[in-house]
Amino acid sequence: MFTRRDPEHIDETSVSGRLNALRAGVLGANDGIVSMAGLVIGVAAAAPENHAAILTAGIAGLVAGALSMGVGEYVSVSSQRDAESEQLRRERRWHRKRPEWELEQLVQLNMDTGMSEATARAAAVEQTAHDPVSIHARMHLGIDPNELTNPWHAGIASLIAFTLGGLLPVLMILLPPPAYQVPVTFAAVAIALAATGYTSARLAHSSYRRAIIRNVLGGSLAMAITYGIGHLVGVAV
C-alpha cells in the first residue's frame, strides 16, 4: 500500500512548484503536532488533575509557537528572497558591462551538460538572444527569476499550519479523564503524524513507508521524553 509512486506518472514541474508549500504547510502542521503534544503531555505528567494548568500551557504554547513559526518562516524566506534578488541584480549588471564574458561562461555551462563546443556555442547565442539573465540565473545561480519564494505566503502558511496541527494534542489532552489523558493523546498524535507523513510523501512523490515511520517514531520519542521529564518534575514538586 505505502509504496513509491510510478515515476512515469510524476510531473516534475509540479513537484518542484509544491516544495515551498510543502515545507511551510505540511511541515508546519507536523511541528505544531509534535511541539504541542510534547508540551501538554509534559504538563499532564506533572499535574494530571490540574486541567487549568494544562489548558493555560496549551493555549500559551499554541499562540507562541504559531507566531514563532510564522515570523521565523517570514524572516527566513525574506532573507532567501533578498539574497536571490541581489544575485539577479548583479547578473543584470554583469550582462551590461561584460556581455562577451557572460556569453563565454554560458558556452562553458552548456558544455558542462555534455554538449560539444560548437553545439554549446550555438545554443548559448540563441539563449542569450532570448533572455540572457534568466538563462544565466538558472544555469549559473540555480535561481528561477519567475519562481522567487514569497515570504508572506510562507509565513502565513506556517502560522496557520502550526495552529491547526497544535490544536489536536491540546484538545485530546483535555477531553478524556485524567487516567486516559496521555494514552489517548499519544494515540491521536501518532495517527496524525502518520497522516502528515503520508501527505508529505504524496506531495513529494517519495516513499510513504519511510515518511510515516520517520514521523511517528520522531514524534513518539519527543512525547516519551517530555512525559518522563514532566513526571519527574511532578514527583519532585
Q: Is residue 134 domain-shared with residue 28, that is, in the same domain?
A: no
What percent of the chain shows pLDDT beyond 90? Answer: 37
Q: Tell whether 127 is covered by a domain.
A: yes
Q: Is the pLDDT of residue 137 over 50?
A: yes
Number of domains making up the chain: 2
**Mean pLDDT of the region 155-184:** 91
pLDDT bucket at 10, cuts 50 / 70 / 90: very low
Q: Which of 28, 30, 77, 22 lies closest to 206 in space, CA to CA?
A: 22
Q: Tell whether 4 is covered by a domain.
A: no
Domain that holds residue 38: 18-86+150-236
Query: Mean pLDDT: which of 64-68, 84-88, 125-129, 229-233 is highest?
Result: 64-68
Kind plus residue range of the DSSP H or E element containing 67: helix 51-97
Asked if 120 contacts 111 with a C-beta cutoff of 8 angstroms, the reply is yes
Residues 6+ apart with CB under 8 A from 17: 147
**Mean pLDDT of the region 82-111:** 87
Q: Which of 10-24, 72-86, 213-227 has the lowest mean pLDDT?
A: 10-24
Q: Tell whether 13 is covered by a domain.
A: no
Q: Is residue 218 domain-shared with residue 155, that is, in the same domain?
A: yes
Distance of CA 161 to the CA centre of its chain: 11
Q: Is residue 99 domain-shared with residue 155, that is, in the same domain?
A: no
